[in-house]
A and B are shown apart, each in its own frame.
Chain A
Amino acid sequence: MTQLTDLTIADIATALHKGETTAVALAEAHLARMETHRGLNAFITETPDRALDMARASDARRAKGEAGPLEGVPLAIKDLFCTEGTRTTAASRILENFVPPYESTVSANLWRAGAVMLGKTNLDEFAMGSSNMTSHFGPVENPWKRAGDNRKLVPGGSSGGSAAAVAAYMAPGATGTDTGGSIRQPAAFCGIVGLKPTYGRCSRWGIVAFASSLDQAGPFARTVRDTALLLQAMAGHDPRDSTSAPIAVPDFAAACAGDVKGLKVGIPREYRVEGMAPEIEALWSRGVAMLKDAGAVPVDVSLPHTKSALATYYIVAPAECSSNLARYDGVRFGLRVEGKDLQSMYENTRGAGFGAEVRRRILMGTYVLSAGYYDAYYKKAQQVRALIARDFTQAFERCDVLLTPTAPTPAFAAGEKMDDPVTMYLNDLFTVPASMAGLPGISLPGGLSADGLPLGLQLVGRAFDEETVLRAASALEKAVGFGGRAAGY
């Protein structure tokens, strides 16, 4: 038998069902690998005791014939999901010692399906970043390196720890959250699959809020089918999140088996941006050709407001962030830094508790929402957001799914894009528009760059049509035949 840590989630289900291994053995194997590769800094908190307790309980349930759909599957959880009794930090100093008295709906759903928690993964502070460089607990290292170049690369962000953990085989799957690309971009940088569902598909209850009109939880795994299996358990209506959709969850794994004959794949011409790296353009063309060979029909479509999406995002997301993060005031939970009076206690707590990028975004959001600027910035951004959403609606009158690159570049080295915030923001160029419209998107490996780094292809679907996204992604995955693995992992 192959190493336990090499198994996919689907493989694990089969092996456990056949009695070839146990949940405890799987948890132990993955925990050992987490220890070996601790240098990547993928985890903020490892939870070996909780993992082994959950694994023992899982084996007991299986013995009684009560196995759930993810029974015994070890998972890594982004440290933005509240886990009852286990520290949840959002990678911020302000929540460094926060132990939630409740469990997020998404993680509770996973545990109800039988999954086992390995630990809490690192991220950009409050999920604000595209490199995992803004974590209070230090950066995460991408398991991949450029050929012949030993420099450490970023895993992408914000869900960089989850992506690195799955890419380094420390976990077969992980949870992430995506506000402007925080699942899809790190999946692309780490050579794995990351799925952002439709806004409203997964409950946001118990997930530390960043930008509430955009935040959405989703899975990482090494195959498209595994992300479908995870989403199946994560999704579903939750009365505690008023934006959670009260609609049935379809059979996502079944959708992976369908073919793409006659499927209309939209190729948005505005994504062919000036200065796009030739290898990204070539990757995209290969993706189109592969889907065409599988029977799909490429369709040229237009999303005219694409180039406005990033600037719109950097009004809407900071505005929501400044409101959401107002709760960290040193009174009810989190860090407190004393001051001479109540006002200075608030200011000292927040000044010391938040890192540079979070402080910058709070100031941006406060500015755009402040008297005299609201109409010029926030209202304008919401109007442009309406146009961006309308572009997608019109494009989906002519096609069933969209194919684009996930990111404009492969993973970059730590510090390479740190000089100017706008340069860093450009990383999310191809992922932000679908977020603004609340649409489902997946990133899967499309090949390697000239210097040996994984490149991602993105598929975007209609709202609540993850099935078509998964169907097209499965066909593309088969055609690509990636099988890439970071050297040494």
Chain B
Amino acid sequence: MAIDVDTVTKIARLARLNVPEGDKLRLASELSGIFGWIEQLNAVDTTGIDPLSSVSAVLLPFRDDKVTDGGIAERILANAPGGAVYLDPDAPGTGGFFTVPKVVE
């Protein structure tokens, strides 16, 4: 399955990944090569085979639906690249916000 420049543009958009125009042709050719190689799987007969999504030996465990931690807003916001804004700067444990560029006028 050949992947063209338009497909690269589309999947880059879906992945929220800026791909410079100048790189798209090369990427299309690389991805076409990789997916061409992957096509070999079409030769494997998988009729009636259930897909395997996990090799985990255990069923997903359940736990009680209760709060197990909290009051750590400062630690959660410590790496925020846009800086953090706190509800009450004198009591950061009470909560705060990540910041993003303005999205409404």
Contacts and interface: CB of A to CB of B under 8 A. Distances in A.
A283 to B, nearest CB: 27
B27 A363 contact: yes
A377 B27 contact: no
Interface residues of A, number: 72
A243 B51 contact: no
Given A243-B56, A311-B41, A338-B101, A367 B7 contact: yes
A347 B14 CA distance: 10
A360 B31 contact: yes
A196 interface: no
Interface in A309-360: 311-312, 314-315, 322, 326, 329-336, 338-339, 341-348, 350-352, 354, 359-360
B103 A341 contact: yes
Interface stretch (A118-126, A228-236, A380-388, A471-479): A380-388
What does DSSP make chain B's interface, helix, strand, loop or mixed? loop
B38 A314 contact: yes
A45 to B, nearest CB: 16
Contacts of B44: 305, 308, 384, 387
A347 B37 contact: no
Contacts, number: 166
A337 to B, nearest CB: 9
A347 to B, nearest CB: 4
A385 B33 CA distance: 22
A464 B56 CA distance: 11
A76 B15 CA distance: 34
A305 B43 CA distance: 11
Say what secondary structure dominates the interface of chain A.
helix
B14 A366 contact: yes
Interface string B10-35: 11101111111000000100110111
Contacts of B103: 341-342
A389 B52 contact: yes
A343 B103 CA distance: 9
Given A98-B79, A213-B53, A352 B18 contact: yes
A383 B18 contact: no
Given A213-B55, A341-B103, 15 more contacts: A243-B58, A311-B40, A330-B82, A336-B81, A343-B16, A345-B100, A345-B101, A347-B16, A347-B17, A360-B31, A363-B15, A364-B35, A367-B7, A367-B11, A383-B51
Interface of B: 3, 7-8, 10-12, 14-20, 27, 30-31, 33-35, 37-38, 40-42, 44, 46, 49-58, 60-61, 63, 72, 75-76, 78-82, 98, 100-101, 103
